[in-house]
């Protein structure tokens, strides 16, 4: 298969793992002698691929300590996903009893839906999407269930409603983290309405009371999530690979991509996917939008994250990584979204409140004051508080997961 991207600086261990995760591929076992198995172990955990690898490298002679380590990780993940799945059903029953509309975005159900086995996919938390108007009542339900709010957001003039997209909660007894979303992604940006997502929903399984996104909405959600993180974990791309085998409605996808300005991110993802798994899986897309140099360049930007095993949640980021990520995210915005993003920078940030505190009733003054406050902060070359961190990370979509 001809490659469109340059993989020459990606570690050979990761390239070998990329072969192993392809269902019908036959990895070259002769290469194993030159591998650093500690690196393979580290890469497998970082990319969240160890459950798949545990299944697919049967017959490959692994060092005993490494094989035992993978077996233990796989077993731990299986029990964790079983606990999370039971928690999902309990939450779904609670939401249903209180007439709360909730869609489970990510969690153990994706292991069943995408891989046919919840043990084959990891999940650090349970992500739930609700309408913004139900946020307060849903939060109260979670608190009654024993969850504790784990994260608070600095905000000014209600910007949290569109700049951010979830609050985090933790259950201290069950050791389960939950993210309660009122948006799919951080703003500013265009998104489908919750009512439309609800209308297209599907059950997590035939015996479940929990609801999840319809397959086309799930496809676009996972692509935008992966793109926002630079596809720095291959498991996200593996999810897309599994979804591409679900008989997607490409005409519906085309309409939603265009309406929500997702097309650059989808092109990036599918070229990256095609270079690893083959382009036949997304053939309907490439018939609509043939590959060209600009989309290849978009996809090449993501290889950077695989070359260095980038951890985007380990702040502060190295300057070179932060700049690359900022440019990558900017390149995925269509022209109308660039205008929207630029306009959003005129809206006050919490950093402005830190720099020049004003009584709440005067916060509207931050609009005319903002340019001067930015200049002031740059001259002083200092950052204060989480509010300033949000401003620095603003063009990087201010997100973790």
Query: Given pLDDT bands bounded at 50, 70 and 90, which one contains residue 73?
Result: very high
Does residue 59 lie within any of the structural domains? yes
- Mean pLDDT over residues 123-130, rounded? 97
Listed residue (38, 5, 36) closest to 276, CA to CA: 5
Q: Within a domain: residue 7? A: no
Strand partners, 177: 170
Q: Kindly state whether residues 364 and 269 are assigned to the same domain.
A: no
Cα four-point dihedral sign 51, 57, 59, 60: negative
Is 83 contained in some domain? yes
Question: Cβ(234)–Cβ(314) under 8 Å?
Answer: no
**Residue 15: which of 92, 35, 229, 70 has the closest Cα?**
35
- Model confidence at 396, pLDDT cuts 50, 70, 90, reads very low
386 and 272 share a domain? no
Q: How confident is the model at residue 29 (pLDDT cuts 50, 70, 90)?
A: low
- Predicted confidence at residue 397, as pLDDT, reads 43
DSSP single-letter state for residue 358: -
Structure tokens at 52: 């798949």
- What is the mean predicted confidence (pLDDT) over 45-50? 95
Structure tokens at 385: 């508080």
- Say if residue 342's pLDDT is above 90: yes
User: Is residue 340 domain-resident?
Assistant: no
pTM: 0.92
Do 221 and 258 reside in the same domain of the chain?
yes
Q: How many domains does the chain have?
A: 2
* In a shared domain, residues 317 and 365: no
Residue 382 pLDDT: 52
> Are 254 and 298 members of one domain?
yes
Instruction: Please check the confidence at residue 384 and state whether its pLDDT lies above 50.
Output: no
Last residue of a domain, one of 331, 361, 378: 331
Among residues 276, 298, 331, the one where a domain terminates is 331
Indicate which CATH number applies to the domain containing 260: 3.30.460.40
Please report whether residue 343 resides in a domain.
no
Same domain, 274 and 374: no
Average pLDDT over residues 71-84: 96
Residues 245 and 380 in one domain: no
Domain co-membership, 291 together with 374: no
Instruction: Identify the weakest region by mean pLDDT among 51-60, 185-194, 271-280, 332-341.
Output: 51-60
- Residue-wise pLDDT for 129-163, tens only, equals 999 999 999 999 999 999 999 878 899 999 999 99
Q: Decide: 330 and 317 in contact? Cβ < 8 Å.
A: no
Strand-pairing partners, residue 212, are: 104, 202
What are the E-state strand segments in 154-286? 166-171, 176-181, 202-203, 211-212
* Residue 235: predicted pLDDT: 97
What residues make up the domain containing 391?
A: 351-396
Quick check: is 1 in a domain? Answer: no
Give CA–CA dist 242/240, Å, rounded. Answer: 5
Name the average pLDDT for the chain.
91
Same domain, 63 and 192: yes
Same domain, 373 and 275: no
Strand 202-203 to 211-212 pairing: antiparallel
pLDDT of residue 335: 97
Q: Are residues 39 and 96 in the same domain?
A: yes
For residues 386 and 164, the answer to whether their CB atoms sit within 8 Å is: no
Residue 99 within any structural domain of the chain? yes
Start-to-end CA span in the chain (Å): 33
* Same-domain pairing of 50 and 199: yes
- Asked if the structure places residue 19 within a domain, the reply is yes
């Amino acid at each position: 298969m001809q490659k469109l991207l340059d993989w020459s600086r990606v570690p050979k261990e990761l390239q070998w793992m990329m072969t192993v995760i392809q269902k019908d591929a036959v990895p070259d076992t002769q290469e194993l002698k030159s591998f650093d198995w500690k690196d393979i172990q580290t890469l497998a955990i970082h990319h969240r691929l160890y459950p798949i690898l545990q299944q697919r490298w049967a017959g490959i002679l692994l060092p005993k300590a490494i094989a035992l380590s993978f077996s233990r990780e796989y077993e731990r993940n299986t029990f964790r996903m079983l606990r999370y799945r039971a928690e999902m059903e309990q939450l779904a029953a609670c939401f249903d009893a209180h007439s709360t509309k909730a869609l489970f975005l990510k969690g153990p159900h994706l292991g069943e839906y995408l891989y046919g086995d919840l043990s084959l996919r990891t999940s650090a938390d349970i992500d739930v999407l609700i309408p913004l108007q139900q946020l307060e009542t849903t939060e109260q339900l979670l608190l009654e269930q024993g969850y504790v709010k784990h994260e608070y957001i600095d905000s000014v003039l209600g910007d949290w409603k569109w700049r951010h997209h979830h609050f985090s909660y933790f259950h201290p007894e069950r050791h389960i983290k939950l993210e309660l979303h009122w948006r799919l992604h951080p703003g500013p940006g265009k998104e489908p309405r919750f009512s439309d997502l609800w209308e297209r929903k599907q059950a997590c399984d035939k015996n479940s009371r929990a609801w999840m996104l319809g397959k086309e909405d799930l496809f676009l959600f996972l692509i935008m999530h992966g793109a926002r993180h630079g596809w720095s974990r291959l498991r996200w791309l593996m999810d897309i690979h599994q979804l591409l085998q679900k008989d997607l409605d490409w005409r519906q996808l085309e309409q939603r991509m265009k309406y929500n300005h997702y097309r650059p991110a989808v092109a990036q993802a599918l070229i990256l996917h095609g270079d690893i798994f083959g382009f036949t899986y997304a053939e309907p897309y490439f018939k609509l939008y043939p590959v060209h140099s600009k989309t290849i360049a978009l996809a090449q930007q993501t290889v950077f994250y695989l070359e260095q095993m980038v951890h985007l949640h380990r702040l502060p980021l190295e300057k070179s990584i932060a700049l690359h990520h900022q440019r990558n995210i900017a390149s995925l915005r269509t022209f109308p979204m660039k205008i929207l993003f630029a306009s959003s920078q005129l809206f006050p940030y919490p950093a402005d409140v830190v720099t020049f505190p004003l009584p709440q009733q005067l916060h509207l003054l931050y609009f005319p004051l903002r340019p001067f406050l930015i200049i002031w902060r740059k001259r002083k070359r200092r950052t204060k508080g989480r509010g300033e961190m949000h401003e620095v990370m603003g063009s990087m979509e201010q997100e973790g997961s």
